[in-house]
Chains A and B, each alone.
Chain A
Amino acid sequence: MSELLIMLAVFVLSIIIGYLLISKVPNMLHTPLMSMTNAISAVTILGALLVFAVKPDLTETLLGAAAIALAAFNVVGGFTITERMLRMFKSRKE
């Protein structure tokens, strides 16, 4: 039960803190922000790894491998594009 409570607390606190931090992001950075959160949402890659924590049967191996590949695509692609975009922003002083 205590584990459930901790999970609930983590869920609620993350939403609140996320809301407070993200509502201050300027409009200018909204595309990089979405691109980065997009990469973060592929944190399901951890779940996909855990599929292999117990000996998986063939179906589970296939599904798990697909999940890992897609999530990795999402993570690496998301962070890379965000970096590429942010590098383009220049101020006159630079």
Chain B
Amino acid sequence: MNSLTDLLIDLIIILIFLSGFSRFRTPGAARTGNLSAAFALALALVVVMARHRIMQPHVVIIALMIGSVLGWLVAMRVNMIQIPAMVAFQHGAGGIAAFLVSFVELTRNVLPGFGVEKISGLLGLTIGALTFSGSMIASGKLANILKGPPVRLPGHSLITLGLIVLIIFTAYFTGSPQAPLLNVLLVVLVAESVMLGLVFSIRIGGADMPVLISFLNATAGLAAAFCGVIIHNRLLIACGATVAASGSILTHVMCRAMNRNLLQVFIGFRVKDAADPVRVFFGEGEVTDAVTVTEEEPAPEPVRHADPLAEAIEACRNAENIVFIPGYGMAFAQAQFDVVAFAAMLEESGKNVRFAIHPVAGRMPGHMDVLLAEANLSFDKRVDIDDINPDFENTDLVIVVGACDVVNPAAITMKNTPISGMPILMAHLARRILICNLDEKPGYSGIDNPLYRNEKAILLLGDARETFRKLTEAYSSSLN
């Protein structure tokens, strides 16, 4: 296993993996990237089988078949709305595999004291187990089986801290191994880690789900890497570490897009005196019309149009440049097909139509792009927040569909709210704003959205699917 040839083979497989990652620049290339990563994993499997004589091959083959067939069946049936729940569930499956392997290895090669292998095995066990339970909670929340809002137990942070201390304590006792006591200790360790994962993730909910799922992506990778150290397998270490890096990057991107730091998300800690929100993200002068309003100030009533549908059609007809802003509400109403169909109709009548995608639109990083791709929107129609924001002043009409917090001007005009300083899509700078949300309630942040009361706004409230069918009908008859 230590020979140079083995090392070379491992390195080649790792290179194929990494080349897979490097293909993730455009969707077409990413397909070959995904295939080459799958190929590398298959190759690794063959190499392991060639290097070691596998006992009980019938058990191995049956287990492989069952897992693969189930994985394939589920993957073919799941729809794009369910992707986040499915991915979270798979993180959990990976977590179980990691802690089971660590468990077997720890009990098999009983090592006294705390060598690198021992510590790695314990880490693989703990992180794998908490990834499992955390992912099950996340998956339940994303699938709407569990309630979305965060659950806070009395003394939540203390319980978390207590569990961590308990885990370190239990792990310390495994230093003097005396099976079967060792087995008992390891089972206790798994139970404590599962508890930690539960306590940790029930506290996170609502808008923070993209952060949680990215974080679990990272811990699943980390568990695999530690697992690799105890079995002396470089492929496991390399793959696990790369996945951990990827999950960490996504976690960071999500936190930045929501103006939250990890501590705020994980232990509910909130910065009391946030920095001047306007200056954090936009240079001075860029947002000249920003005014600081306080919540006590009486809010102006929203403009009520006698016939908002007719007003909306009029606005569409007069517009040259139209930007759609989809949010999770659109996905929740399953309206993406109707929205894209309406957009196509606008485009056919000569309008310039684009979709502005906020990084946290949807329930996991990049979820909205997948939903729109499913609805056959070509991806050259989508724009990122940094590219569209300077352009909103030249936009004739913004059509908001099921999005609230990501277009809430309060993020840049109000201090000390959960969204203060969050980068938003500057819809309020457009000439007209058509809002097709379910109701006027605030988004996940709970902060009222002044956009609803903007004099340029037209409110078309109700089920987005219904709304867009009406819009499509009314617009097509207005063309004739």
Which residues of A approach B to under 8 Å, CB–CB?
3-4, 6-7, 10-19, 21-56, 60-61, 63-92, 94
User: B66, A34: Cβ atoms under 8 Å?
Assistant: no
Interface residues of B in 335-382 (CB under 8 A from A): 357, 359, 362, 364-367, 369-370, 373-374, 376, 378-382
Give the complex CA separation of A87 and B233 in angstroms.
33
The answer to whether A11 and B370 have CB atoms under 8 Å apart is no
Task: Please list 20 pairs of residues, one from A and one from B, whose beta carbons are closer than 8 Å in the complex, sorted by A's number.
Answer: A13-B238, A15-B241, A17-B18, A26-B25, A28-B369, A29-B25, A35-B83, A40-B243, A41-B239, A42-B93, A46-B235, A52-B60, A65-B60, A67-B97, A71-B97, A74-B90, A74-B94, A75-B68, A80-B75, A83-B34
Q: Is B100 engaged at the interface, CB distance under 8 Å to the other chain? A: yes
Chain B stretch 18-48: residues in CB contact (< 8 A) with chain A = 18, 20-22, 24-28, 30-31, 33-35, 37-38, 41, 44-45, 48
Contacts of A11 in B (CB 8 A): 225, 229, 237-238, 241
Asked if A43 and B41 sit within 8 Å, CB to CB, the answer is yes
The interface residues of chain B lying within 8 Å CB-to-CB of A31 are 83, 87, 362, 364-367, 369-370
Are A44's CB and B98's CB within 8 A? yes
Given contacts A27-B369, A67-B97, contact A85 B242 (CB under 8 A): no
Q: B97, A32: Cβ atoms under 8 Å?
A: no
Distance A91 CA – B104 CA, assembled complex (angstroms):
49
Q: Judge if B78 is at the interface, Cβ distance under 8 Å.
A: yes
| CA gap between A50 and B45 in the complex, in Å | 10
B263 within 8 A of A: no
Closest to A64 in B: B104
Q: Report the bound CA distance from A64 to B101 in whole Å.
A: 7
Interface pair A70/B93, CB less than 8 Å apart: yes
A84 and B44 CA atoms in complex are apart in Å by: 24
Give the shortest distance, in Å, between A23 (CB) and chain B (any CB): 6
Residues in chain B near residue A81, CB distance under 8 A: 75, 78, 83, 86-87
Distance between B7 CB and nearest chain A CB, rounded to angstroms: 7
Number of cross-chain contacts by CB at 8 Å: 369
A68 touches B67 (CB 8 A): yes
Residues of B within 8 A of A33 (CB): 24, 30, 246, 250, 366
Identify which of B21, B31, B49, B116 contacts A21 (C-beta below 8 A): B21
Given A17-B18, A38-B220, 20 extra CB contacts under 8 A: A6-B7, A7-B234, A27-B366, A28-B379, A30-B364, A34-B364, A38-B90, A40-B239, A46-B236, A51-B105, A52-B56, A54-B55, A65-B62, A75-B38, A75-B71, A77-B86, A79-B34, A79-B38, A84-B76, A86-B30
Main secondary structure of the interface of A (DSSP, over half): helix
Contacts A47-B227, A63-B100 known; A30 to B378 CB distance under 8 Å? no
Contacts of B91 on A, CB cut-off 8 Å?
38, 41
Contact (Cβ within 8 A) A67 B100: yes
Contact check, B94 vs A71: say whether CB atoms are below 8 A apart.
yes
In contact, B244 and A15 (Cβ under 8 angstroms): yes
| B245 at interface, CB cutoff 8 A | yes
Is there contact, CB below 8 Å, between A45 and B365?
A: no
Most interface-central of A10, A26, A48 (chain B CB within 10 A): A10
Name the A residues within 8 Å of B229 (CB-CB): 7, 11
CA distance A67 to B34 in the complex (A): 23
- The answer, yes or no, to whether B224 is at the interface (CB within 8 Å) is yes
> How far, in angstroms, from A92 to B343 measured CA to CA in the complex?
14
Cα separation A77 to B229 with both chains bound (whole Å): 26
From B70, B220, B224, B370, A32 is in contact (CB under 8 Å) with: B370
The answer to whether the Cβ of B108 comes within 8 Å of any Cβ in the partner chain is: yes
Q: Which 7 A-B pairs have the closest CB atoms?
A: A72-B67, A30-B366, A77-B71, A89-B27, A18-B245, A18-B242, A76-B71
Do the beta carbons of A34 and B246 come within 8 Å of each other?
Answer: yes
A51 / chain B contacts, CB cutoff of 8 Å? 101, 104-105
